[in-house]
Amino acid sequence: MLSLGLLALAYSTIDTGALLNTLSRMSFAGVLGVLGLYTVSQLVSACKWQMILSAARFESKTPASIQAYFFGMFVNTFGLGTLGGDLARALSLPAGGGSRSLAIASVISDRIHGLLTLLAIGLLAIIVVRPATLGPLAVYLAGASLLTLVAALLLAGRYMRPLITDVNVAGRILSSLALAFPIRPRYLIPCTLVSSVSHLLQISMHSVMAAELGCSISFAYLLAVIPLVNILSSLPISVQGAGVRELLYVFFLVPLGVPKETAVAFGAIWLVSVTLVSALGGLFFPMNNQVKIAANRDDFDSEIIDSSKINVS
């Protein structure tokens, strides 16, 4: 309902005819470019998740992990939302690769790591670009936030171990998260680099959209504001960020001289792209008969994580 309300708010201030005319500017090559960049970005993200699974010693081959990742996208878009999609992704991993609790922890860690990476890209770009739409205070806040983020990652491994216990369910969950999150530099650095590539591909999508819709927006500016758009629209307050994303595009792009209809068109193109690519998950999932949802496994509560394996030191 909130998504519908926010969409209604975004579309109530624009000329629908002008919006359709704006969308008609997209060439076939531009459509393929946007869809291609988004698809590749998700493939890269799936490979990053495979890296997290490998670091956590969950046995799953890359093709199976990619199919589970896309199936999670399909459920996210057409079924149970973000939480349901993430659960489906974890439970769709091949049985026998490891505990289900560890699989779920890997998905949570993947989400957290991806958001932190995107936040770091946005904060760094804000400091360099200094977008006028955010005001001068945003630069100082971005600098302080970036330093806090780096310090938190550096100190997490040192101070996390004393908090971990495996004597109860909460402790096992914390142990699984500690095992799955790539804290050590040999895991953190490559995962962060791969995650950055995925985010940069999605930001590049917006460059293609801007060119197709006749907007003059620098890539540097997109680096500063699109991470904020993606982070805020990923909050579980609307379906696929619908409504939130459109209003954020209006906030960040209209001050540059972009018409409201064009700003809202960015949101429409994004939503269609996500929906079409997510639909691929429904096609990929049945193709691998080794990937089966293991909802009846009993290792959610019984799995004890060996604290010596936890990669937070």
pLDDT tens digit sequence for 204-230: 999 999 999 999 899 999 999 999 999
Q: Which residues make Cβ contacts (< 8 Å) with residue 309, sequence separation at least 6?
A: 57, 179
Domains of the chain: total:
1
- Which of these, 190, 182, 222, 184, lies nearest to 203 by C-alpha position? 222
| Whether the Cβ atoms of residue 91 and residue 54 lie closer than 8 Å to each other | no
Confidence of residue 161 (pLDDT cuts 50, 70, 90): low
Across 288-313, b (16+ Cβ under 10 Å) vs e yields: beebebbeebeeeeebebeeeebbbe
CA angle 128, 132, 135 (to 5 degrees): 95
Q: Which residues make Cβ contacts (< 8 Å) with residue 186, sequence separation at least 6?
A: none
Whole-angstrom distance between the N-terminal and C-terminal Cα of the chain? 45
DSSP secondary-structure letter at 184?
Answer: S
Tokens matching residue 45? 């993200």
SS3 content of the chain, % helix, strand, coil (to 5): 75, 0, 25
Quick check: 162 pLDDT over 80? Answer: no
* Cα distance between residue 223 and residue 205, in whole Å: 11
E strands, the chain, where?
none
The torsion angle over the Cα atoms of residues 91, 231, 200 and 81, rounded to 10 degrees, is: 30
Residue 134: its pLDDT value, please? 85
DSSP secondary-structure letter at 284?
Answer: H
The Cβ of residue 262 has, within 10 Å, a number of other Cβ atoms equal to 24
Report, as an integer, the average pLDDT of 252-259: 92
Residue with the larger pLDDT of the pair 6 and 27: 27
The Cβ of residue 216 has, within 10 Å, a number of other Cβ atoms equal to 9
Confidence of residue 61 (pLDDT cuts 50, 70, 90): confident
- Whole-model pTM over 0.75: yes
- Which of these, 276, 281, 282, lies nearest to 32 by C-alpha position? 276
E strands, 46-199, where?
none
Quick check: 302 pLDDT over 60? Answer: no
Q: Which residues make Cβ contacts (< 8 Å) with residue 54, sequence separation at least 6?
A: none
Give me the phi and psi of 119, to 5 degrees please.
-65, -40
The Cβ of residue 85 has, within 10 Å, a number of other Cβ atoms equal to 23
Tokens matching residue 180? 């799955």
Residue 285 belongs to domain spanning: 2-309
Residue 32: its pLDDT value, please? 95
